[in-house]
Structures are given as structure tokens and as C-alpha cells.
Structure 1
Amino acid sequence: MKIALLQCNSVTGDVAGNQTRILEAARRAAEAGADLCVTPELALCGVTPGHYLCAADFAQGCRAALQNLADALKDGPPLLVGAPVPSVYAVGLLSNAGVLVDKGKWQVISRKVYQNMGRSGGQGDDVRYFDRGVSCGILTLGGWRLGVVLCEDAVAEEGAFWQTQYASGHNPLMELIQRGVDAVVHMAAAPFCVGAQEAGEHMLSHVAARHHVHLFSVNLVGGNDSRIYNGQSLAFDPTGQLLARGKAFAEDVLVVDTAGHGADAVEELCQSAEEAEWRALTLGTRDFVHKCGAQRAIVGLSGGMDSALVCCIAVEALGAGNVTGVLMPSPYSSEGSLTDARQLADNLGVTTVTLPIEPLMRAFEAALKPGLDLFPPYEGEVTFENVQARIRGTLLTSLANRAKALVLNTGNKSEGAMGYCTLYGDAVGALGVIADLTKTQVYAVARWYNTYRGAEIIPQNVFDKAPSAELRPGQKDADSIPPYEELDPVLEALLEPPAESVDKPLDDVCREVRDKLFRAEFKRRQEPLALHVSRVPFGAGWQAPVAGRYRLP
């Protein structure tokens, strides 16, 4: 049997467009002799559709699209497509289903079994709109019994379907195995995070070998808001041997012949975490901009590492002609920073514009004076440092309005954790491109990028100089927060604490980092949507009170 795994990049809510994309991929598979085509979970409507599902005509539109596919593929191979369908168990809800389209008709084969919530937020989001699901169906085709299961996560520690006994009493995989199947078809929408692909492959291989079944896992690809889906669909034989792996971070039609070895269809894994992060962020940026209906991006270039990496990602994602770099020097900006920013832009072929902010700083100081005179100054005041950042934010967003572009935010995870940013200033933007990378990871990805390009695209001086916001004379980031080489390991340990260290006392640096981390939650709630590449991103894997005060006796 030949099974085609249709690795789709669906646009959430664009049922008409997704219908066309699926149809085109199915026709490519038919030309390759596929006996069955399979899409990822919710490929027809897009993942995390949220309140789209509550619209009166949305479910009706999905049903119409299913019939359109059935009519168009009447003479083609059967298609197993992920789509929302009316629930037969709960009034007012839908089922997240695997639907068989064949011979001009469609029928539901399997319904996703939900837990009450998911650590990554995926099932927790969807369970509000979908029923809990009670069945994992079996499809008989060409003498094969194919068990069909929908599950978004293939990593054991995340509660994978093959280890989980749901509150409803269901264990989807074991139910299929007990009913007798030759293969498991896994329709997935597993968000990318570093290391998840390797862990998922190990687990899937183990499942195939343990239960002696073929296993076909088709995964979504593309950026959808914060989440990035990496594709890399998989096929294993009953010994657990990898038969095929789809492309990473790209659409693919992966045709797997169960009678062959499939060695020619095994795409390579990313060679490093930095390569995977780069490719994920590039895809996430491209899809966010394009799926929001824009083509261009505006990036503020400070001459520092964060804005340099964001500009490189933007150029890779959108093309140099669609990226504009904005230099906004103040009296505190060093000549070296301006030179580095211009050199980066020249290396990338990016158009720049220079907008000095000193006249605006003076105007703001004069305009604010009557109000500020009402309040006494205090030591450590940052009023006019924040004014500089907010002037720059205003300039960037104003240019974006005229250019019909999106501002790409350049803040990193370390700064976001410490609240080392200015709301409505350097925190502005439509998308936090590197907001889930620590400063240490930013430098690592930047070094990888220069090696990847085989040239010093990001100038060496950007690597060498101490990080600084340049909002006052001689300012360095380390004046306000711990040095990044101390901060980042502590931050990662606080976000993902090992169980055995929970009761260990904190040293002074850990306590400072934790206190700032909790106090900065109000800023993070107002920052741009961030692309997620870590296991514990802010906003999904992490929640803290905004109006809280963490104090212990």
C-alpha cells in the first residue's frame, strides 16, 4: 500500500483556501500512485480556530468544503482529512474528527479524545469548543485495518495518547491495538519546540515496534500566531525502523510505500538547536506577516545583537526588498552602533532611514515640564530614558502605518523575564520574533547564521561589545540586571525547575532573578505576541499573577 502524508500549511479560518490546498496536494499524491491520502489534524479549518467555531456558518462551511472535496476526488484516492464536524454526543459542540472522503461521499472515522487540559495549552484551548470524543475508528482499505487517532503531542512526558488513560476512561491507542489493526494513522498538529522532534521519533518508533504495527504520523507545518509547526511527518515499519521523514518547516507530499524501504524519502534532521530555531523563527515570521495580510516589515536597528538577528530573520522570511531598517540615534548613541547598524543593512541589502530623536526629546521635555514639576524627582528615575524608547516606538509604528507594514519587535526572553524594556516603547510591535530566545541563545543563533551564510553578515563588533540600551552615558545592561551569562542559566532553571531542586534554598542571584521575573508579569501581558520555540514560553507555558506580591515569612 502507498500512503501519502499531506504535510499542509493551513491558514486558520480559511476553509475555502485550505480546501484548495488539500485538493492540490491530494492530486499530486494521486499522480504518485497513492492508495490513501492523510492530512494533519484540523487541516481543513486550521488549528486553534477558537471562536471561529462559534460562528453560525463556520461548521456549515466546513461541511460544504468536505462535500466539495468529495465531489472533486470522486475518481481519486480516498482522503482522510482533519476537520470539525457536528457532535453526536454534546449539543452545541463540534467534534475534532478524522473524516474519510471517498467515492463522492464523506463519513466520520474517528473523533479526537480530549483530556481536560494540556500542558502546552493546545487541548486546554480546544476543549472549550469540541466535545471530549469517545471513539478512535478503524478504516478498512485494501485489506489493511488502519486505526485512526488524532493527537497533537507525540512526546511521552507531555501525556502522549499511547500512555494516557483519560478521565473519560479511554486509552485511544490500546483500544485500537486490542481491536486488531495493521497500522496506526496518527493525524497530528504538534507545535515545534527544541528537542521535541527527536523525542517524538523515539517514542513513535517504540510504539510501532512494541505493538508490531506500521505507524504513519502526519504533522502540520507553518506558523499560526505564536505556534510554529515543523512538519517532518514520519512513517515506521513494525520493527520500529524509520521508513520516511517529511521535510522540515516546509510543505510536503510524502508518499510511503509499505512494500519498500523508503530510504530516499528520509529527510535529514536539523543539525543543531540553532539551525532548528532559525528555521522555525523564519517560518513563523513569514507566515505571521503573510497570514495577517501584510508583505512588509519595519525593524528598528540599534546596532545591537537583538535587532541584528531580527533583521536577518526578516530578510530570510520576507526578502530584503520587503524589510526597512530604521536608525533612531539619540545624543547617547555611540558612533560604533550607527556604523554597525548601517554595515548590517548593507550586508543584507536592506533599505534604511535615519530619524534622529534629539529634537523630539527636547520637545517632550518641554511639553512634560508643567506636569513633572508637580512631582519631586527621585534617585534612579528613568522617566526620560523611557521617553526615548517611546519616541522610537511612535516613529516605528507611524512608518508602519504609511508602509502598510508590521513592526517586528526585537526584545529577547531574558529582557522580557526581567522587565528590562519600556512599555509602549521598545516593547511595541506586532510580533516578538526572538521573544522566546534568551540572550545567550540569541548570540548562539547569530553565530550559527554567520557560519551558515559563510560571511560576516552580522559584524564582529556586534558580538564583541557589551549589550547596552544606550539611554544614558556609559549605560550597560549589566547595570540593571545580572550579567546574561549568570542570568540565563538561572532563568531557565526557574522556568523548568527539576523536581529534586524545589526545596533547595535560593542564592542571591536566583532570588533577584525570581523576584524580577514575578514583578514583570504586567509588562509581559502587554507585549507583542511571541513566536514560541521553547518548552516553557511566556504566555502559554508560564502564568503568574499581575496584581500579586510574592513575599514569604
Structure 2
Amino acid sequence: MQNNVRICALSAPIDQSDLGLGAQQAAERIAELAQQHCPDLIFLPHHSFTGGSLGSVFQNGLIAEQGQQLLPYLLSKTAMIKSAVLFTLPDGGGESCYICQAGQLLGQFRADSTAGLFTFTLAGSRAAVLFCDPAQLVRHAGDIARSGAQILLLPACQPCILGYSDRVLRQIKEVSAALGICVALCQGGLGGSSSPWVFEPQTAVFESGQLLDFGREIDGPPVSCVDIDLDILAAGSVPASFEAACHTQPVEGQRTLMRPLRQNPYILRPEQLDELFALQVKSLAVRMENTGIKNLVIAVSGGLDSTLALLVCAGACDRLGLGHEHITAITMPGFGTTGRTYQNAKALISALGCALREIPIKDSVQVHFTAIGHDGQKKDITYENAQARERTQIALDIANTVGGFVVGTGDLSEAALGFCTFGGDALANFNVNICLPKTVVRQVAGRVKDRFYGAGEVVQDILDTPVSPELLPPDETGEASQKTEEILGEYDLLDFILYYHLKYGMHPQKLYYYACVAFSQNYSADYIKEKLQLFYRRFFASQFKRAAAPESAILTEVCLHTLQFQMPGDMSAKLFLHAVEEL
């Protein structure tokens, strides 16, 4: 079910005066890695046993002779392990690259920049080897794309000058992201001379632009051993024809997952939070400019989503040179509103200098209950949704009154799980949060809260308040009787599931396995299975709400905008739930 290929880049030390000694030490390290991690392939850098500093001596016939004598030795050593091994050796014509497994030579080709790509199947995946300066990798992007390879191996041994390593990593990341492939680097030179060049051994593995592992010479020879997910590569790459010159076999046996799995895969660097908020602000400011509308209307509950949306409104007005009085912020206390959220809503609106409107909805909702024959005592879905729809009606009518439009506050997690009211809070003129899952909404709000004078303290208290729709009366202590994460489950887990479901279309059983690995210290396997079932049930049942979603900008890779994601509104979750049941 994993459909992964494990590769290991090993930048082994060399002995430039004794090729045999370097080969012996490398063979010992290869055997250790094969036993510890069971990789499908272990590959060494270019000039695997000579290094890159021999200069003219490399052309000497003795070096070629020694290199060819090492071939049977290395084949005998690899006969003792299951992993395929890739290395280079000098020969009479320069240098050749060899791929062997179980003591058998599977492939041999020229190891120089003029040879082009050598393609082969690696444990069922499509792989290619390229000898070039990794800092010039972009020049080869066309050939790489046409090769049809999913995994590109870069054995290298280039001298390092100031800034070179950074350029290499940028090039690899760009090519990996643009082509949706894995690029693995193994840069050699450990043990070589420092005159006239210095070599900086390092290893790195990128998968669809994401760094999975990076090794440098700190405590020993750099090593990167990681699982490449072929399903993720298939989701991001364009199929192409592929011709294999040789084939390696997968390594059989039980292996635990060997790849980083972030619990929050949406945000990789804190600076991305700044960029995301700036995009939210720009999307709203552009909408205001293009429509000529200068007034915004927003319902502010004192909760997390409306807080971030209000900060976006303030940022958009700042960008356009408009005062915050152009924002009509409405607080509409109802049957479930607590004192904490009520006071926080008013405090935030006041701190930002918006136009505050306070409109209680209990009486109007009670009138509606009487009209439809609801006694108001039964705390059912009608009781809850009537409040959400009343608030939306008020916001839309006030927007008509002030000549503005309603800014939606709903987020990606709510849209995915259908935790919103059709014709209620799901309805607006323009939504600014819809591309952000709840965990990211929290991060962005925390990141930008101190940019707005006087707002930081109240935003922090909102961040500390449990997420709740507050549609049922508070408990006897005055606290919210509804807590969303007690109803649905923890957002960190649900947002993780959402990410892999949307971005990669991951099989439910594999998604379950990944979630169990990522959250092994947080939740039990049975609990994760339960929440995966809940996710699929709610996700498929809620498409009709998403199909009627307000306009919004596409701000992230993972979102449910109708241009990014389509599905039938009447599709059942039966197939997916059955797959989870079989776990």
C-alpha cells in the first residue's frame, strides 16, 4: 500500500593515494546502510573512489587499471546485500558508472556530462542518472522532462566556492517542483585535496519541490536515506514515455516509513504566513478597486475566523488609503453567545476603529420560530441554522444600506467538513479565508496580531478561546456548551487528512498510515481511523454547500475553489468508507 521507493545517497570518503582502501571503507558503509535501512538503491557521488582533485593524474593508466580491478571486488561485496548500488570507476576512456545488485552488473554507461541521461527502472519506478554541474541543472530540465523519469539521481563532485551550495539547492528545488519529480543529490570530494579547489560533500533529496532530507559533513560522511512517495510524484508530474536500459528489483521485507511527515504540511516557513496575509489583503483590495465599492460589512463573533477576516478588511482599507470607518463590523449576540466572545468582538472592533453595529438576534429568531411552527425549545439543527441565517440576512441588508459588500469569514476546514450553514455563514459576497484551513487561520492571526495598534491583546485572548459555533445556550458556568473539536475532532489531525486528500488524492489506507506515523505521539490508531471515517462522511455530504460558495481568490495550492476541485454533489462516501473499514 505504501508504493514508496527508498533511496540512499552516500557521500563516502576517499583515499586519493589508495583507491582500494577507499573502496573497502565505502563497501563497509554500504553494507551497514543496507542492513539498517534496507534501501532499494544506494548511490555514491561522481568520482566515487578517486575524488575530484587528482587533476591530470586521473588520466594516468595506473588509475584506470586500479579502477577496473576494483569492479569485481565491489561486485563481490554487493552480492551480500539486497540493495542496488550505483558508483563510478575510472577506466581507459575516462570514467564509467555502474549499477549492480546481488553481485550482478545490471548497467554500465559513461559518467560524464556529454553522456546525457541514463534511464532505468528502480524498484518499479522510473529513474534516471545525470552527470552534470548541479548548479546548472535547469539547463537540462527539458531533457529530464522528456525522459519520463520520476526520480533523478545526481552523482556529483564539483568544487565549492562561496554561494555555490545555495545555488545548487535552489536549482534542484526548482527543477523538482517544476517537473513534479524527485531529485536526489550526492556531492562528493570528502578526503580529497584542498588545492586548488575545496570540495563540500553533501546530500539532499527533494520531492516535488519539498526538501525531504539534507546531509552535510558534520559528524561524518553525509548520508540521506529517505522514502520517495510514488503516489505524490504521480499526482504532480506529467506522464511521458520511458525507456529503461536496465532494471533493479525492490528490496523485500518490513520497513517503517523513512520520510519526514509534518503535522502541519501547509506552512513550511514562518515568512509564508506574512505572504499569505498579504495575498488575502490584496485579493480583497483588488475586489474593492474593481467594483468601486469602498464599504465593507462583516459579522464579527469574537471567534477565530471572523477575527482574521476583520484584520484582512483593515489591511485592505490601509492598502487603499481608506479609514477603518469604511468597515461596518456587526456583532449579533444570540442564544449561544458567551460573555467572553461578546466582549472580545466589541473590543476588537473598537481597537481597529471600525463602525460598530450591535444587533441582538434572539427576538427576531424567536419570531421566525413562531412563523415556522418551531417551539424554540427543541435544540435541533433548525434551532442552530436559523440563527446563522438570521445573521447573514442582517449582514446582507446592512451591506445594501451602506452601499458595501459582505466579507465572508468561513475557512477551508469548515468548507471541507460542511461545518457551516447553507444560506447562512457559508454565504457572502467575497470570502477571504476560504483557502486557509483552521490551523493556518490560527497561525496567520497570531503572526499579524501586533501589526494593528491596540488589537494584539484581544486577538491573543481570541486565540486562547476554544473554537465554537456558539449556537446552543452556554453551560451553567457561562462557557460555550459547544466546542467544535469535541464535536469533530482536533483540527491538526483533520487538516492533515484534508491536505493529503486534496493535494495528492491519496488512497484512504495510505493516508491512514501516514496520519498514524505523523501523530503517533498524539492519537491512537483507532482514534485516527474514527476521524478519517468522519472526514469522508462529512466531506462527501457537503459538496452541495461548496458548489454554492461565494467568490474568492485562489491563494494556496490546497483549496476547494471550484476551479481547483470538482466532484458530483450527490456522490456517496461509500467507497472510501469501505476502504477505511478494511484497515
TM-score of the superposition, structure 1-length normalised? 0.49
Larger Rg: 2
Structure with greater proportional helix content: 2
